Amino acid sequence: MKKPSRDTISRMSLYLRALQELSKAQASPTISSLGLSRELNISPDQLRRDLWYFGQFGRRGVGYSIESLKNKISEILGLNKRWNICICGMGNLGSALLAYKGFKEQNLNISACFDADPKKIYKKKGGITIYPLEDMKNIIRSSRIEIAIIAAPVTAAQTIVDRLVSCDIKAILNFAPVKLIVSPKVKLRNVDLSTELFNLTYFLSQP
């Protein structure tokens, strides 16, 4: 059996979201690969192949049970467990992520925020306390935080990451447009907002 690609995992997230919507809508208890793929600009073949990496979830002639496939994908993505997350940098982006509904709805729990600004620390935002970087070790240990989001400025990002790594953080989602150096034990994923826009400007510039 083969290992699913990163793109397959990203599409699994899309399937999950679509299934959650279908589940709320309650139109039918099952859906076919064609029906589900039509919601997403993905071919039904690809959807079936994506699921194939993880097992057999459908019934021939019938399709997939929406509830059961939803739960299965949720489990595959590791969302049957509650994840504790911290956000580093409480500027606009950090605040946006803290307020983002898509996190809470899954098992993604923002447990703490960190900021370097003395004016912000020990204040609460959206029910979460903002701590100074000095408290990081204590908070990450006591709240069992495994994932960190970097929403800090480029200049501060590497320093924060070094601290996170020394706190044995397991994964980092980085929004700062800078290459971070981390120990190979830590899983790092970068999201670069200008890259997404450059894809559009490139496309619009094509003849």
Partner DNA sequence: TTGTGTGAAACTTTTCACAGCC
Partner DNA sequence: GGCTGTGAAAAGTTTCACACAA
Using the rule CB under 8 A, give the single segment among 3-11, 61-69, 134-142, 160-168 that binds its own copies: 3-11
Six-digit token pair at 171? 């994964």
**Residue list 50-109, contact with its own copies (CB under 8 A):** 76-79, 81, 83, 85, 91-93, 95-100, 102-103, 106, 108
Q: Which of 14, 136, 139, 157 forms a contact with its own copies (CB under 8 A)?
A: 14
| Residues 39 and 77: beta-carbon distance below 8 Å | no
How many residues touch its own copies under the rule CB under 8 A: the total is 57
Contact residues toward DNA (CB under 7 A) are 2, 5-8, 32-34, 43-46, 48-49, 51-52, 56-64
Q: Does 27 interact with its own copies (rule: CB under 8 A)? A: no
Sign (positive or negative) of CA dihedral 91, 81, 144, 167: negative
What whole-number distance in Å separates Cα of residue 16 and Cα of residue 141? Answer: 31
**Minimum CB–partner distance for residue 37 and DNA (Å):** 9
What whole-number distance in Å separates Cα of residue 128 and Cα of residue 99? Answer: 11
Q: At what angle do helices 66-76 and 6-25 cross, to 10 degrees?
A: 140
Q: Does 160 interact with its own copies (rule: CB under 8 A)? A: no
